[in-house]
Amino acid sequence: MKKFSCVFLALIGFGLTSMVFAEETKATAEESVLVLKYQNNKEYITLQNSVARAPDVVEFFSFYCPHCYDFETKYKIPGKIQDNLPDNKKMTKYHVDFMGGLSSELSEAWAVAVVLGVDDKVGPKIFDGIHQKRNLKSTNDIVKIFEEVGISKADFESAKQSTSVQIWKEKQAKAIEQFEVNSVPTFYVNGKYLVNSGGLNMSKPFDEQFSDIVNFLLVKDNNK
């Protein structure tokens, strides 16, 4: 009986060792596939000059940009990226101020929205006011949107003068300069990679590809 038990346990041990080996082999194979999944200068572009201490993932956008509007409302790419990020990673969204009109005021308003924690409510309303209702024409119209989400004009004006908003505005402006942003929407990962939307496979869901490439690039750096 003891001999049978020893043989049986040995077989179990061999089986577990084989399973561990198989899992390790599988993981190695998956890593190899991951390396080949997306290519530099196709689905993403490695920056010649990386940006130190950049956010894990950063999107540059403008409320005036029709493509940014589509990315946000039609394809829902920013939301998909955010939802699929690893728990220890974060996406930051910066508004550019080079598209004329109220760009500077909207960049400031975005900083206020982020600091007050209402960016998820304010953003869609500003996009809608510009691209659908077409009734966002002045700074007063911006204030009205904040009032619609529960931020009074007095609180909005106070927030604009706060240290937190001033710091956010400085980080936003500095990031635009460091990444040399001249078009939107653009997505960068780890301050080193630009997601190349022109290199994506148009036969596959756009949002899923974007999210997948972002996570691929995050893992790519972690594996180094």
Rounded CA Rg of the chain:
24
What is the identity of the amino acid at 183? S
Domain with 19 in it: 1-37
Cis status of the peptide bond prior to 78, with omega within 30 of 0: no
Helix (H, G, I), strand (E, B) or coil at 61: strand
Same domain, 58 and 127: yes
pLDDT tens by residue, the chain, 224 residues:
444 344 333 334 434 334 433 444 344 334 433 445 899 999 999 999 999 999 999 999 999 999 999 999 999 999 999 999 999 999 999 999 999 999 999 999 999 999 999 999 999 999 999 999 999 999 999 999 999 999 999 999 999 999 999 999 999 999 999 999 999 999 999 999 999 999 988 888 989 999 999 999 999 877 66
* 10 and 118 fall within a common domain: no
Residue in the structure block whose two tokens are 């910066």? 94
The token duo for 35 is 């390396």
Domain count, the chain: 2
pTM above 0.75, yes or no: yes
Task: For residues 96 and 13, state if they share a domain.
Answer: no
Distance CA 22, CA 118 (A): 48
